């Protein structure tokens, strides 16, 4: 994979998160694009600034200090690059900060069109505040009152296969038209129509006296087919339009941005799609961006691509994660005794301070325990039945996992939380590179490819997690690995063990698995190969023979002892 530079340009990418604002500077070094420097500061979307400009200014000041390059003139970004080398050629902006869009979803059938509508809405920062369908037994006036009370930013209408139902759709539209009449023009929501294309004209004619609807192809053109992407793309634009009124300064930065500012998850997802294509395999690529307010998930496998903006995270979204998690699911991950009340109170206290950093071993352990459960929530949403398997690699972004933990702590947290099955490589993105590159990709694909080749992402290592019914302590596997220099080693693996393979970082090795007991590497047991090549990561490679689902001893002392042994195995 290599590309030549036709016309070199420097690019500044800024991501506005709910807690942190990140700036990444890209330029050409020795004829190849590189990420030159990054800076991270607190976001200033709230009091007392209420404007993203302040955090961008602080981040650029930091970049100027790091690089010695003059980027601003009187607090304004210099665009394009000047003869004296100051400034940058292009600027791109992504954002995840801001309130989720309040959405009313309208559709015909709960399990068909509304289900598709929900998938569209889950792909970005939305909160479904009301749903209306034919299954809804409320009177029309009660539905009108419900929409008014919901104060939506957006109404998404889905329903009717192409050439399908028209009368029922007309009823829904009439209901919406009546509701819109009750709202002053400045309070009316955006309307996105993604239903039966055969009646698009009638729908827009009815709505246009009150709002100018956004129209996209049907999300459910027929009962067995979904077409979510056009609606997702349009939704990203609507999110930007709404956020541009919420986030001070966003509009003014959009005027200097080379592309319209876009939701961070959209850019992140674009990179996951790109990496999936680049891999040329059918295994699929999974991206998890565990943010403060939202956890973004992007999964691409063959031609299937999906995005999820899950409403929980490590900071602003911690309360939502806690509400979904029994306390004992968190405390079971603690390697020391901490009273339940202390764990509970600390985590709820932590919800009030999304940017704070845990101090002291006990509190760090509590937060890492919570991270495991948050990842378990993510894994459950990705695949509640089969578990996480086969993705190669899994890319992980977000401050809590990539910066607040050591590499060994991060890998163990990911393994405990996601519990992947089979062969998976974990790659950390500590600088938010994937989001930045996803925003840059339409402008300069060469920059994307060359930056990815520059090792700006951290390979933690490949994990092989076999499934075996053998009893704890039984030898189940012999692993032989050959390094590039011809050196060969063999390791015996027992059921329940976590075994690191000391393959040097960046070095290729061939692994041969020799099962000593029946085991498999996929949930279905249909394994193909037991011999494959891997590249050593920061932690070499790891055999995780602890079983799936991972079961912890009920006896507290034994459980803590086991957790400590696993931590020691990875040196965390």
Partner 1 sequence: MTMILPAHHILPLAHLRRLRLLNGKGRVLVRPGQMVEATDVIAEAPAPGQHLLLDVRKALGVQRVSEAEQLIERQVGERVEKGDILAQTRGLFARILRAPVAGQVVAIYKGQILLETQPQPYRLLAGLPGQIAEVFPERGAIVETHGALIQGVWGNQQNNHGLLTMLAETPDAPLKADLLDLTLRGSVIVGGTCDQAEALKSAAEIPVRGIILGSLSAPLLPLATDLNLPVILLEGIGQIPINRLAFQLLNTNQKREVYLQASWNPALSEKPEIVIPLPAEGKAPEEAVEVAPGRTVRIILPPHAGVIGKIIQPHSTVLLRSGQRIPAAEVELENSQRVTVPLFNLDIIA
Could you list the residues that contact partner 1 (CB under 8 A)?
18, 42, 45-50, 58, 61-62, 65, 99, 139-141, 144-145, 148-149, 151, 174, 177-178, 181-182, 184, 186-187, 293, 316, 341-342, 344-353, 355-360, 363, 403-407, 409
Closest listed residue to residue 511, CA positions, set 535, 541, 528, 533:
533
Residue found by looking up tokens 């910066």 in the block: 403
DSSP three-state, residue 74? coil
Nearer to partner 1, 340 or 492 (CB): 340
Distance in angstroms between the alpha carbons of the first and the last residue of the chain: 35
Nearer to partner 1, 360 or 549 (CB): 360
Q: Residue 36, Cα to own-chain centre: how many angstroms?
A: 24
DSSP three-state, residue 36? strand
Smallest distance, Å, CB 98 to partner 1? 8
Nearer to partner 1, 149 or 508 (CB): 149
Smallest distance, Å, CB 99 to partner 1? 6
Percent of the chain as helix, strand, coil, to the nearest 5: 35, 25, 40
DSSP string, 312-367: --SSTTHHHHHHTS-HHHHHTT-SS---HHHHHHHHHHHTT-TT----SHHHHHHH
| CA distance linking residue 484 with residue 536, whole number of Å | 11
Nearer to partner 1, 366 or 447 (CB): 366
Smallest distance, Å, CB 433 to partner 1? 17
Smallest distance, Å, CB 440 to partner 1? 26
Rg from Cα positions in the chain: 25
Nearer to partner 1, 194 or 412 (CB): 412
Q: Which residues contact 37 (CB under 8 A, 6 or more apart)?
A: 24, 25, 63, 66, 67
Nearer to partner 1, 137 or 139 (CB): 139
Smallest distance, Å, CB 531 to partner 1? 35
| CA distance linking residue 18 with residue 374, whole number of Å | 18
Smallest distance, Å, CB 242 to partner 1? 14
Nearer to partner 1, 181 or 281 (CB): 181
Q: Residue 263, Cα to own-chain centre: how many angstroms?
A: 11
Q: Judge whether 425 and 462 are in contact, CB under 8 Å.
A: yes
| CA distance linking residue 557 with residue 501, whole number of Å | 28
């Amino acid at each position: 994979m290599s590309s030549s530079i036709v016309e070199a340009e420097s690019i500044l990418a800024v991501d506005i998160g709910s807690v942190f604002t990140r700036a990444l500077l890209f330029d050409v070094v020795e004829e190849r694009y590189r990420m030159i420097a990054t800076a991270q500061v607190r976001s200033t979307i709230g009091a007392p600034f209420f404007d993203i400009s302040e955090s961008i200014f602080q981040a650029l000041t930091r970049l100027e200090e790091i690089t010695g390059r003059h980027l601003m003139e009187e607090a304004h970004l210099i665009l394009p690059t000047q003869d004296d080398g100051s400034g940058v050629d292009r600027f791109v902006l992504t954002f995840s900060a801001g309130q989720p869009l309040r959405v009313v979803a309208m559709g015909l059938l709960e399990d068909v069109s509304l289900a598709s509508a929900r998938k569209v809405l889950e792909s970005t920062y939305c909160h479904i505040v009301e749903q209306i369908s034919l299954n809804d037994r409320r009177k029309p006036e009660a539905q009108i009152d419900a929409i008014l009370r919901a104060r939506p930013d957006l109404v998404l209408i889905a329903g009717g296969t192409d050439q399908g139902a028209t009368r029922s759709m007309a009823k829904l539209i009439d209901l919406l038209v009546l509701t819109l009449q009750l709202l002053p023009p400045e309070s009316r929501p955006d309307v996105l129509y993604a239903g039966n294309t055969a009646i698009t004209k009638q729908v827009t004619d009815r709505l246009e006296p009150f709002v100018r609807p956004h129209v996209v192809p049907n999300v459910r053109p027929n009962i067995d087919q979904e077409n979510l992407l056009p609606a997702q793309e349009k939704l990203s634009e609507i999110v930007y339009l709404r956020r541009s009124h919420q986030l001070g300064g966003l509009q003014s930065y959009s005027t200097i941005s080379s592309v319209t500012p876009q939701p961070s998850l959209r850019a992140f997802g674009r990179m996951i799609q790109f990496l999936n294509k680049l891999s040329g395999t059918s295994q699929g690529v999974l991206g998890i961006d565990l943010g403060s307010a939202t956890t973004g998930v992007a999964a691409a496998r063959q031609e299937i691509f999906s995005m999820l903006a899950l409403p929980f995270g490590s900071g602003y979204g911690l309360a939502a994660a806690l509400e979904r998690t029994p306390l004992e699911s968190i405390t079971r991950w603690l390697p020391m005794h901490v009273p339940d009340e202390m764990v509970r109170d600390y985590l709820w206290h932590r919800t009030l301070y999304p940017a704070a950093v845990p101090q002291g071993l006990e509190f760090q352990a509590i937060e890492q325990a919570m991270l495991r459960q948050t990842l378990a929530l993510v894994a459950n949403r990705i695949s509640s039945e089969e578990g996480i398997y086969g993705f190669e690699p899994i890319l992980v972004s977000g401050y809590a996992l990539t910066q607040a933990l050591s590499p060994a702590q991060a890998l163990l947290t990911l393994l405990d939380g996601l519990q992947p099955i089979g062969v998976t490589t974990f790659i950390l993105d500590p600088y938010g590179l994937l989001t930045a590159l996803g925003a840059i990709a339409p402008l300069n694909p060469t920059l994307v490819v060359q930056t990815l080749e520059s090792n700006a992402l951290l390979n933690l290592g490949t994990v092989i997690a076999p499934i075996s019914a053998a009893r704890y302590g039984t030898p189940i596997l012999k692993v032989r690995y050959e390094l590039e220099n011809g050196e060969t080693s063999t390791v015996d693996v027992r059921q329940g063990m976590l075994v690191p393979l000391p393959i040097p970082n960046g070095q290729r090795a061939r692994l041969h698995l020799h099962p000593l007991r029946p085991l498999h590497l996929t949930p279905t047991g249909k394994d193909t190969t037991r011999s494959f090549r891997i590249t050593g990561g920061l932690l070499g490679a790891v055999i995780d023979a602890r079983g799936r689902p991972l079961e912890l001893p009920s006896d507290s002392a034994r459980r803590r002892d086991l957790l400590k042994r696993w931590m020691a195995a990875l040196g965390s």
